[in-house]
Amino acid sequence: MSDIDWSLLKEHAVSAMKSAYVPYSKFPVGVAALVDDGRIVSGCNVENASYGLTLCAECGLVSNLTLSGGGRLVAFICVDLNQNYLMPCGRCRQLLQEHGGGKLAMMTDQGVKPLAELLPWAFGPEEMEKRLD
């Protein structure tokens, strides 16, 4: 984890946050992640008047990951309007689990933590494989 440029990831997350569409909550969120091939993908939240249809920044990131060639997420960062670190909700942690796994390095306000520590006993693709055998 020491070779991860967290400052660069934060720059990408802040840039993404500035593109967020948040006319209702006024709470922009930006995320960025390092992919195992060296790419950086990012995303921002996109609200909708029908609140349940709002897209989290992590959804945009996973979509960008898939669109740009896939791969595994290695490191992840999430920021708010004041560039404070945010922790993704449980739903979004599950999205990140699918594309990064338990070893995904997550920046928190308490330092870098593996996703496995932030989403214990996660349900992932390996569970599907075990259950379908």
Q: 76 burial class (0-12, 13-18, 19+ CB within 10 angstroms)?
A: buried
Q: Is 76 helix (H, G, I), strand (E, B) or coil?
A: strand
HSE-up (13 A, CA, CB side) for residue 32: 24
Whether 58 is catalytic: yes
Tokens 């306000």 sit on residue: 109
**Amino acid, res. 92:** C
Strand-strand pairing, 73-79 and 105-108: parallel
Nearest partner of 124 among 107, 115, 68, 74, judged by Cα: 115
Catalytic residue among 11, 47, 58, 98: 58
| Residues that are catalytic | 58
